[in-house]
């Protein structure tokens, strides 16, 4: 009898909390939509659904002037979209570029249970990117665009630049990936060393169960997630944060992404990792790509152990390119484009754009 009396109260409290959260979410969206509205007569602020490789996918296009150069951002993950954070971190870029954020196949707004799992492969992502680049160049009557790849996006970006250099004005690798196996070994050792230094016995116990990492379960994304949980807590992903909560708060304020989209965000990460992790293990650019025929800029956080900086530095030194530059972000880990977003944006505007404009 007691449970029957209490249950309606709990249901009512849940409804009140959910309604309050929903209303607050809408309030945040409207507030930031007004703050980030593009009012210039030549500007563009467009959320669009297009078809790439036979699959409907979403792009967010923003800029103050449609005659400015296009910069296409390739998000990380795979599956970790960056569109929900654009309003917070990319506003200055919109004054100088047409900024395009793309929810890749199976990610974010582009996630669907109907996507054929066999289409979730690196080659298809390269083809999707090429198709999108051609679409954007035709749309804005340009011959080349700027390509920025973050984490997994740096794998995709490097492969696209290698295959289609004639379409790329310059490439910027953020948290550049080089060799996935070496990447995981260094990242794992960092978490173990930090657990010992902090005398975190719980972390050590869980991490030791993964050994030899990543060879024990090379295709097991559960091991990857467990290792990344401790990497986050030990500041190897975000230098001054130990959880994703601050980013979740930012994403909830995005004018373009609904609560439903946030749920799809989670589904997209699961789908992308499950279908693609075994393919990523094969990546080793130090042996596969020795030269890129466009200007190259590699941006690395000094505390990055998600994609360890020493691998990127070694690859940069051996990579051949008409122009190349390695830029250090001294107060960041893996999320340097958001941790030090003013510095990153100014770098794209004052250095990359200035040095490569023809």
Each of the 358 residues of the chain gets a pLDDT tens digit; together they read 456 667 777 777 778 877 877 787 787 788 788 888 898 999 999 999 999 999 999 999 999 999 999 999 999 999 999 999 999 999 999 999 999 999 999 999 999 999 999 999 999 999 999 999 999 999 999 999 999 999 999 999 999 999 999 999 999 999 999 999 999 999 999 999 999 999 999 999 999 999 999 987 777 789 999 999 999 999 999 999 999 999 988 998 999 999 899 899 999 999 999 999 999 999 999 999 999 999 999 999 999 999 999 999 999 999 999 999 999 999 999 999 999 999 999 999 999 999 998 6
Residue listed under structure tokens 């929810």: 103
- Counting the structural domains of the chain, the total is 1
Residue 302 is assigned to a structural domain of this protein? yes
Residue 9 is assigned to a structural domain of this protein? no
pTM of the model: 0.93
Residue 303 is assigned to a structural domain of this protein? yes
Residue 249 is assigned to a structural domain of this protein? yes
Residue 89 is assigned to a structural domain of this protein? yes
Residue 202 is assigned to a structural domain of this protein? no
Residue 197 is assigned to a structural domain of this protein? no
Cα separation, 202 vs 228, whole angstroms: 15
Cα separation, 331 vs 344, whole angstroms: 12
User: What CATH number has the domain bearing residue 177?
Assistant: 3.40.50.1820
**Residue-number span of the structural domain to which 283 is assigned:** 44-181+241-356
Residue 28 is assigned to a structural domain of this protein? no
Cα separation, 92 vs 46, whole angstroms: 17
Query: Hey, which residues does 55 pair with through a beta bridge?
Result: 52
């Amino acid at each position: 009898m007691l449970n029957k009396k209490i249950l309606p109260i709990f249901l009512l409290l849940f409804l009140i909390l959910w309604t309050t959260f929903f209303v607050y979410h809408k309030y945040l969206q409207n507030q930031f939509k007004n703050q980030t509205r593009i009012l210039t007569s030549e500007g563009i602020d467009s959320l669009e659904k297009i078809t790439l490789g036979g699959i409907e996918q979403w792009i967010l296009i923003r800029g103050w002037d449609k005659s400015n150069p296009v910069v296409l951002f390739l998000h990380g993950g795979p599956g970790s979209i960056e569109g929900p954070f654009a309003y917070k971190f990319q506003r200055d870029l919109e004054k100088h570029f047409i900024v395009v954020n793309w929810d890749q196949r199976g990610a974010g707004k582009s996630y669907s249970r109907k996507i054929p799992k066999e289409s979730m492969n690196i080659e298809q992502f390269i083809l999707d990117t090429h198709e999108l680049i051609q679409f954007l160049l035709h749309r804005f009557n340009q011959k080349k665009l700027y390509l920025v790849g973050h984490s997994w996006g740096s794998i995709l970006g490097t492969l696209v630049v290698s295959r289609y250099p004639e379409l790329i004005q310059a490439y910027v690798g953020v948290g550049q990936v080089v060799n996935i196996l070496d990447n995981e070994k260094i990242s794992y050792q960092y978490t173990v060393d930090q657990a010992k230094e902090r005398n975190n016995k719980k972390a050590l116990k869980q991490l030791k169960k993964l050994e030899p990492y990543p060879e024990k379960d090379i295709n097991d994304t559960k091991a990857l997630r467990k290792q990344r949980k401790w990497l986050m807590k030990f500041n190897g992903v975000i230098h001054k944060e130990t959880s994703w909560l601050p980013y979740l708060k930012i994403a909830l304020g995005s004018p373009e992404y609904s609560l439903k989209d946030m749920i799809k965000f989670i589904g997209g990460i699961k789908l992308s990792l499950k279908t693609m992790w075994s393919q990523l293990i094969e990546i080793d650019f130090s042996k596969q790509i020795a030269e890129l025929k466009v200007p190259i800029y590699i941006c690395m956080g000094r505390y990055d152990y998600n994609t360890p900086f020493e691998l990127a530095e070694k690859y940069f030194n051996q990579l051949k390119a008409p122009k190349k530059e390695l830029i250090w972000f001294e107060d960041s880990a893996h999320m340097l484009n958001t941790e030090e977003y003013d510095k990153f944006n100014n770098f794209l505007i004052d250095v990359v754009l200035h040095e490569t404009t023809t």
